[in-house]
Amino acid sequence: MIIHIEGKKAYTPHSKRLVRLGIGFKKGLKTFLNPVEVLFLVLKYDARVEINGKPAGTTDVFEWCVNSIENFMQLYSVYEDLRSRGYRVKVLDGFLVCKYVVLPFCERLKTTISEISKRRFEKLVLAIVDEENDVTYYKVEEIDLRGEHFEEGFEVEGVLIGDRVFTDPTLHKRYFYGGLKGNSTILSLLECAYLVEIGWLNVKLKGKVLSLEEIKEIGRKHDPNFDRKLEVYRDLKRRGFVVKTGLKFGSDFRLYDGRDVHSRYLLTIADNRLFPMYEIARAVRLAQSVRKKTVFVFKEGDRNTYVLIERVKL
Amino acid sequence: MIIHIEGKKAYTPHSKRLVRLGIGFKKGLKTFLNPVEVLFLVLKYDARVEINGKPAGTTDVFEWCVNSIENFMQLYSVYEDLRSRGYRVKVLDGFLVCKYVVLPFCERLKTTISEISKRRFEKLVLAIVDEENDVTYYKVEEIDLRGEHFEEGFEVEGVLIGDRVFTDPTLHKRYFYGGLKGNSTILSLLECAYLVEIGWLNVKLKGKVLSLEEIKEIGRKHDPNFDRKLEVYRDLKRRGFVVKTGLKFGSDFRLYDGRDVHSRYLLTIADNRLFPMYEIARAVRLAQSVRKKTVFVFKEGDRNTYVLIERVKL
């Protein structure tokens, strides 16, 4: 097979073989090829190439490809990988379309979770390409997080000591708030603010009852993102979860759904933060190594949108 | 048992039981107690406490303890954990001394790796205490990294396309540089700079040979830390390793020692960077989940110091 490259265009005389492979698109007697398809035919089917009528070596072809479209190497790596898995793949405007709609990303690329989740195709799959051109696939799915842990109210007293609140052991024993030390539940400031907000807890500092605003003020001193964390925490409680810190796993919260003794989800507040793709890949890898799922949350208007990102095998 | 607290001091009448437990230090007829020991006796041995002659509740004791010494809760959590493992523990100037010298850290604390590794006691163990007062122990050890991968020189030509260098397949096939695509080895700019530096590679851009300085200049545009990375890369090659990117694992490099087909170490260039302890914990956890060891490197004068951090069970 011989491929002719002229300027930005690449074509080859029409052949049934290409139709069978699902490569290129026919126009008259020619089959026009995408740069990805050109390199694939060169590397896998030993196609010869002429650039403007002169025979070209592999390096010349690489050079033409890389200069023809942005992020060529990522696109090509995913294309080749999908082909090697037996899929007939079409290149469409930065996407690779087969049974799935695959969106290749360089692992160094930074984006927001909302940007990713906006591309709502059925069967959208992210393909993250690492520096060595290895490809890993991820499913992205908006989910309606629901647990089955619900609580009935009671009233307790607490004392603020340092950045912790010491209170009734029942809070931990019954609903897993904080941690138990001796006969006290020790709460974080976040848990404390939530419990004060719903009217279960009265907190004193040196004998004086603290208002919710005073507690938040202390919380903000320890964590500038305190208010947003409280907002998500509140939403997760409403959705029926036991919510604990996920710091150890590199996330904001780990969630127990009231069915399983192990936490099921690791949740990260993403909002408008730019994540490099390798950070997303790493979060999913870490979560899966401890049998948990990775969820990101961002704000759309007044609503929290939860996005599950999971590794998939194609 | 009754404990008397007066100002900053806590003591109890001398008893053989405390001697047997290895708690406190005797002075005359009194045994003086550290705040950590006070709380331990209250929570585990139901000791009663009087503060300035008045009976005190557990919350009062917590309050006195938290205000008596910095990072009390961390120190106490580690103390209690070590005691529960059967160690006789002494509190000494922020350290807990038993069979090991244990240094408790709050997981939010930020420090440099050189700061940690400077505390060169025999048997130093880091104890990282998370927000829920769970304790994990880590061994910190300076190591002389040595691999058994060595290379004999040859000369090849390459072409810079985008941020990659396309060159001879032998470089990958023989010494695992870069990745193979078709019949080309595709190198990163870092590998390229190293190979140009040692005189194995000539790289051309549009027909013109690039100098080492020109390549470094391009490298710096892609990665501001390019020069320091090259310095460490060079040192690792000298020490006998195949060096590949560790980005996927959240580190700078993964190292193959030439004995094992799997990479043994994940290496992070730490230098003067401040790491929160939970980030160190997470790096070790991630590495261990893929059976690798975590190494940090920092510069001492002209020398690279390599520090292995590993989880240990006490």
Predicted pLDDT of residue A94? 83
Distance from CA of B301 to the nearest CA of A (A): 32
A203 CB within 8 Å of a chain B CB: no
Q: How confident is the model at residue B120 (pLDDT cuts 50, 70, 90)?
A: low
Q: Which residues have C-beta within 8 Å of that of residue B284, sequence separation ≥ 6?
A: B138, B294, B309, B310, B311
Report CA-CA distances (Å) from A183 to A117, A186, B72, B76.
Answer: 46, 10, 18, 15
Predicted pLDDT of residue B153? 85
The yes-or-no answer on residue B292 being catalytic is yes
Question: Residue A248 has what DSSP assignment?
Answer: G
Q: Which residues have C-beta within 8 Å of that of residue A272, sequence separation ≥ 6?
A: A112, A114, A298
Q: How confident is the model at residue B202 (pLDDT cuts 50, 70, 90)?
A: very high
With a pLDDT cut of 70, the percent of chain B lying above it is: 99
Q: Please name the member of A159, A278, A289 whose beta carbon is closest to the beta carbon of B59.
A: A159
Predicted pLDDT of residue A225? 94
Q: How confident is the model at residue A133 (pLDDT cuts 50, 70, 90)?
A: confident
Give the residue-averaged pLDDT of B185-200. 96
For residue range B250-261, what is the model confidence (pLDDT) as tens digits?
Answer: 899 999 999 988
Predicted pLDDT of residue A185? 94
Q: How confident is the model at residue B124 (pLDDT cuts 50, 70, 90)?
A: confident
Predicted pLDDT of residue B179? 92
Distance from CA of B110 to the nearest CA of A (A): 14
Predicted pLDDT of residue B305? 95
Residues of chain B positioned with their CB less than 8 A from the CB of A58:
182-184
Residues of chain A positioned with their CB less than 8 A from the CB of B281:
248
Predicted pLDDT of residue A108? 84
Inspect the interface and report whether the beta carbons of A244 and B285 lie closer than 8 Å. Answer: no
Tell me the ipTM for this assembly.
Answer: 0.82
Residues of chain A positioned with their CB less than 8 A from the CB of B43:
181-183
- Is the pLDDT confidence value at A101 over 70? yes
For residue range A180-237, what is the model confidence (pLDDT) as tens digits?
Answer: 988 899 999 999 999 999 999 999 998 899 999 999 999 999 899 999 999 999 999 9
In a mutational test of the B interface, the residue from A80, A248, A266, A285 whose CB has the highest number of chain B CBs within 10 Å is A248
Q: How confident is the model at residue A89 (pLDDT cuts 50, 70, 90)?
A: very high
Predicted pLDDT of residue A294? 96
The yes-or-no answer on residue A256 being catalytic is yes
Residue A187: closest CA among chain B residues belongs to which residue?
A: B132
Q: How confident is the model at residue A121 (pLDDT cuts 50, 70, 90)?
A: low
The whole model's pTM is what?
A: 0.87
Give the residue-averaged pLDDT of A279-307. 92
A244 CB within 8 Å of a chain B CB: yes
- Among candidate residues A11, A177, A256, A278, the one labeled active-site is A256
Amino acid letter for position A204:
K
Write phi, then psi, for A85 (nearest 5 degrees).
-90, 5
**Cβ distance B288 to B259 under 8 Å?**
no
Q: How confident is the model at residue A132 (pLDDT cuts 50, 70, 90)?
A: confident
Query: How many C-beta atoms lie closer than 10 Å to residue A19's C-beta?
Result: 12
For residue range A8-56, what is the model confidence (pLDDT) as tens digits?
Answer: 999 999 988 898 999 999 999 999 999 999 999 999 999 999 999 999 9
The yes-or-no answer on residue A194 being catalytic is no
How many cross-chain Cβ pairs, A to B, lie less than 8 Å apart?
Answer: 110
For residue range A157-175, what is the model confidence (pLDDT) as tens digits?
Answer: 999 998 899 999 999 999 9
